[in-house]
Amino acid sequence: MSYVADTNILLRSVQNTDPMHHETTQALAVLLGDGEVINILAQNLYEFWVVATRPQPQNGLGMSVSEAEQELDRMKSFFNVLPDTPDIYKEWERLVVQYAVKGKNAHDARVVAAMKVHGVSNLLTFNGRDFARYIPQEGITAVAPPDINSAAQVLP
């Protein structure tokens, strides 16, 4: 099985002070330990950069350009980066029209479009509600880190 990690997963994985940091890194370790492939999208990297380099008083991480670049390099070496393709735009356009997506929710539609084009149905995210319109109609499953960690504790 394969997953796409949402941007909120990437952000929490690098922010040691985030209350969900440990839960996030534990879920990533469980998935990788189980042999799962964790993918990221170019869009995740763009979104990460925006938050990482935004000042902390404006709900950012306040990283310098150099620090953000180092994190991007680390992520690209740690996760499988799925390429952008022209088919992603075509699928995104279908989704935003079919589901009457407006405003910033179009970003989530692009994640779903990339997942569909690349044949990945599992999304690791803390924001499953943002993707509810695509479940099950588009075959997307949103999985939260606490669900991964709970399942790992139950299994032998």
CA distance 40 to 88: 14
In a domain? residue 156: no
- How many distinct helices (H) and strands (E) make up the chain? 7, 5
pLDDT < 70 regions, the chain: 153-156
pLDDT score recorded for residue 151:
83
Indicate the pTM of the whole model: 0.94
pLDDT in tens, 52-92: 999 999 999 999 999 999 999 999 999 999 999 999 999 99
In a domain? residue 72: yes
Q: In the block, which residue shows the tokens 């980066």?
A: 81
In a domain? residue 155: no
Domain enclosing residue 38, as ranges: 2-150
pLDDT score recorded for residue 154:
43
CATH for 135: 3.40.50.1010
> For the chain, how many structural domains are there in total?
1
